[in-house]
Amino acid sequence: MSIVRAGILGATGYTAVELLKILLRHPLVEVVLATSRQDHGKPLSEVHPLLAGRTSLQLENFEAAAATKACDVVFSCLPHAASATSVQPLVDAGIHVIDFSADYRLNDVATYETWYGGEHPDPTRVGQVPYGLPELFADEITNAKLVANPGCFPTSAILPLAPLLLHEQIQPQGIIVDAKTGVTGAGRTPKQATLFPECNESIAAYAVGTHRHGPEIRQILSRRTGVDTDLIFIPHLVPMDRGILSTIYARPMRGVSAEQVMECWREFYEGQPFIRVVDHLPATKFTSDTNYCDLAARDVEGTLVLIASIDNLGKGASGAAVQNLNQVMGWDATLGF
Ligand SMILES: NC(=O)c1ccc[n+]([C@@H]2O[C@H](COP(=O)([O-])OP(=O)(O)OC[C@H]3O[C@@H](n4cnc5c(N)ncnc54)[C@H](OP(=O)(O)O)[C@@H]3O)[C@@H](O)[C@H]2O)c1
């Protein structure tokens, strides 16, 4: 197998450094390009000191023609809108792109423009791009030129819920996703809400009823299972660096028990290396710095309580992106991990 040349756009951010940690040890990938608007010209290891001694790459300005020539695959770690604008010429030129932003995740342009505002830079591709959860969309991802890497919260909700909706284990009405994230979920670009004194020693709900991952969870569940839900999703910011814990409340169908839910997951995800159905209660510490999604269920007074833990920068972003690359190329899912 020949080595694949990889580029990273927005290489100064948090998802990018996690991606680099994995790609620099991936046996079939060489990282040949890392871009930045503000830090071009600097060594990558100056911006991410934990990469000292692991790479001699210099950050460069993004230039589509040069990226197309230099790379076989590009990972875009840019914010929404900037991402679609940048990757559109790369996809047109036929190289593989894995997009971390929300630009290609949703089913339709109208929902995108309602929740993200502004016109979509590449509207004709919206709804045509595989959603990057290989456990659920493997056939579409294999050989794909463009993959929409999932949102971090959606990964922690869709992985537990999709098999249960498909196999009629839970009712589609009244599902509540109560999710907590570490502060890296907001990215490295400074914002007041994520300054240390603002979020340390405090837990707060935010974007209640208005978070953009709500429509993504509902649309992707519907796309994969054919079942429409009225699911509500409430995120919380907790003072830790990384990790997402989602506690999901759902009503069982026909008295389905937590043990039956766990059995459904075990059968559905059999052979999937990154899904662990665990007997203990999942915690972010047990999935930190990994590409695992840990799942457990409990019965509480007639309600099913489903608990999912991931690392927002692992299975919630950069781990998923490398898993998607492996799926696109037809390689073993665990290469690089
Ligand atoms: N953080 C997470 O847990 C997570 C999880 C899943 C998905 N995502 C998605 O992954 C993407 C990257 O997230 P992140 O957390 O790595 O963000 P980040 O730490 O803020 O990094 C994003 C990088 O993109 C560049 N950038 C910012 N605005 C730009 C613009 N308008 N045009 C071009 N470049 C711009 C910046 O680099 P320069 O200023 O150096 O150019 C910045 O370092 C986002 O789309 C995010 O929604 C993040």
Among the atoms of ligand 1, which is closest to the Cα of residue 78?
24
Angle between helices 134-141 and 152-166 (to 10 degrees): 90
Protein residues whose CB sits closer than 6 Å to any atom of ligand 1: 10, 12-16, 36-39, 77-80, 82, 100-101, 151-152, 184-185, 187-189, 312-313, 316-317
Mean pLDDT of the chain: 97
Nearest CA to ligand 1 atom 32: 82
Of residues 152, 199, 264, 293, which has the active-site annotation? 152
> Ligand 1 pocket: which of 37, 180, 293 to mutate (most atoms <8 Å of CB)?
37
Q: Taking residues 295-323, what's their average pLDDT?
A: 98
Question: How many CB atoms neighbour CB 297 within 10 A?
Answer: 26
Share of the chain above pLDDT 90, in %: 99
71 is catalytic: no
Binned at pLDDT 50, 70 and 90, residue 194 comes out as: very high
Residue carrying the six token digits 């781990």: 319
Q: What is the pLDDT of residue 2?
A: 87
Q: Is the pLDDT of residue 61 over 80?
A: yes
- In single-letter form, the type of residue at position 75 comes to F
Domain boundaries, the chain: 4-129, 152-312
Q: Taking residues 280-307, what's their average pLDDT?
A: 98
For the domain bounded by 4-129, which CATH number is listed? 3.40.50.720
Binned at pLDDT 50, 70 and 90, residue 1 comes out as: confident
Give the tokens for residue 336. 């690089």
Q: Are 220 and 131 in contact (CB under 8 A)?
A: yes
Q: What is the pLDDT of residue 284?
A: 98
Query: Distance, CA 287 to ligand 1 centroid (Å)?
Result: 22
Query: Distance, CA 221 to ligand 1 centroid (Å)?
Result: 26
> Ligand 1 pocket: which of 8, 9, 12 to mutate (most atoms <8 Å of CB)?
12
Nearest CA to ligand 1 atom 10: 100
Alpha-carbon torsion (128, 8, 213, 170), positive or negative: positive
How far is the C-alpha of 198 from the C-alpha of 101, rounded, in Å?
26
| CATH for 152-312, options being 2.40.50.140, 3.40.50.300, 3.30.360.10, 1.10.10.60 | 3.30.360.10
Can you give the pTM of this predicted structure? 0.97
Question: How many CB atoms neighbour CB 282 within 10 A?
Answer: 24
- Measuring CA to CA, how many Å separate 163 from each of 166, 190, 282? 5, 38, 19
Domains 4-129 and 152-312 fall in the same CATH topology: no
Among the atoms of ligand 1, which is closest to the Cα of residue 81?
31
Q: pLDDT tens-digit profile of 66-110?
A: 999 999 999 999 999 999 999 999 999 999 999 999 999 999 999
Query: Distance, CA 326 to ligand 1 centroid (Å)?
Result: 23
How far is the C-alpha of 307 from the C-alpha of 281, rounded, in Å?
7
Q: What is the pLDDT of residue 47?
A: 98
Q: pLDDT tens-digit profile of 104-159?
A: 999 999 999 999 998 999 999 999 999 999 999 999 999 999 999 999 999 999 99
